[in-house]
Amino acid sequence: MTSYKELGLCNTRELFKKAVAGGYAIPAYNFNNMEQMQAIIQACVETRSPVILQVSSGARKYANSNLLRNMARGAVEYAEELGYKIPIVLHLDHGDSYELCVDCIENGFSSVMIDGSHLPYDENVALTKKVCDYAHSRADYVTVEGELGVLAGVEDEVSAEHSSYTQPDEVQDFVGKTGVDSLAISIGTSHGRTKFKPSQCTRSADGVLIPPPLRFDILAEIEKRLPGFPIVLHGSSSVPMEYVRIIEQFGGKLSDSVGIPEEQLRKAAKSAVCKINIDSDGRLAMTAMIRKVFAEKPDEFDPRKYLGPARDELKKLYMHKNKEVLGSAGQA
């Protein structure tokens, strides 16, 4: 059994308090491999941003729990080597069972999400409370994120065909009964790189899909009922069209890609939304650069020569997110 404190990690409690008070959101970047982790840490050290390293259950199966634990330890040491000690959280994204959450906690995770949003309300409450009771009973206090409302879309092992907005009249009861430290809500974000159907969008003059606006009225009502409480947005990639175009230029096919406009995410970050999850944007950035290298240098077979440019582009993207979208730069 490993405590996250042994790895040099922190939980989200104090980070979220500061973020809510300061009007910014902490980046929650998913990672599966070394290059992604390097890019995340480089970007956050250079922008002096706290960061949440997110691991899905699928990523945990892909990368191995022992390797991930030691990569998290390495991330802390790597940040210090780069010259600045930033707060780093290791977080389970979309945990789907009590057993998975416990296993992650006992393997050094400092924060977990238990996603019971697909369950009937009372079952969601019971499952979330069970995870909170265990996580909060530990001497090192692991923070827990719950979810109300369902996001549509597909990303990793999480999928839902239809979305349902969070009901503001449920949030006080849910938080009070479960004891969660933060709450993921549904106000119109969506998983994956096709966050909306074309029929839900309008198109710009050059054919780019323009999504419907986020439901800031729901967010405002939740803030009234839970003043100062940490709110989380999932499915918040912006799906940059420059990466989509590069991928399609070099043989990919990503029709009808559409994300959440960055100006809407910046507006959300100035509210009680203190954690914003970004995964698809990173996948697009890396894939665009890898495809570009393969097309321009068809004789290249050294993984460093295509993963290196992918890592560098990911770092560039995440520095932009910290500075211009989330407002987390300079907050570490």
Select from 153, 176, 152 the least CA-distant residue to 165: 152
Question: What is the pLDDT at residue 235?
Answer: 81
User: How crowded is residue 61: how many other Cβ atoms within 10 Å of its Cβ?
Assistant: 10
Question: What is the pLDDT at residue 23?
Answer: 96
Q: What is the DSSP letter of 200?
A: G
CB-CB contact of 209 with 256 (8 Å): yes
| Structural domains of the chain sorted by starting position, each given as residue range(s) with its CATH number in brackets | 8-326 (3.20.20.70)
Question: What is the pLDDT at residue 196?
Answer: 65
- Separation in Å, CA 314 to CA 108, 164, 284: 26, 32, 9
Place of tokens 């400092």: 110
Which conformational region is residue 151 in: left (phi greater than 0), alpha (psi within -120 to 50 degrees), or beta?
beta
The burial class, CB within 10 Å (0-12 / 13-18 / 19+), for 246 is: buried
Select from 142, 113, 145 the least CA-distant residue to 5: 142
Mean pLDDT by 10 residues, the chain (332 residues): 96 97 97 96 98 94 91 97 98 96 96 94 97 97 93 50 79 97 89 67 77 89 96 90 96 89 94 94 97 97 98 98 98 97
Query: Which helix (H) or strand (E) segment is 165 a member of?
Result: none
- Separation in Å, CA 260 to CA 201, 263, 280: 12, 9, 11
- For the stretch 20-35, pLDDT in tens is 999 999 999 999 999 9
Question: What is the pLDDT at residue 236?
Answer: 83
Q: Residue 36's Cα: distance from chain center in Å?
A: 13
Q: Residue 314's Cα: distance from chain center in Å?
A: 15
At 187, list the tokens.
Answer: 């106000």
Q: What is the DSSP letter of 148?
A: E
Residue 196, SS3 per DSSP: coil
Does residue 173 have an active-site annotation? no
Q: What is the DSSP letter of 85?
A: -
Say how many Å lie between the first and final Cα of the chain, rounded: 29
At 253, list the tokens.
Answer: 């096919």
At 41, list the tokens.
Answer: 């840490």
CB-CB contact of 112 with 91 (8 Å): yes
Catalytic-labelled residue, pool 93, 96, 181, 279: 93
pTM: 0.93
- HSE-up of residue 243 (Cα within 13 Å, Cβ side): 24
Question: What is the pLDDT at residue 70?
Answer: 94
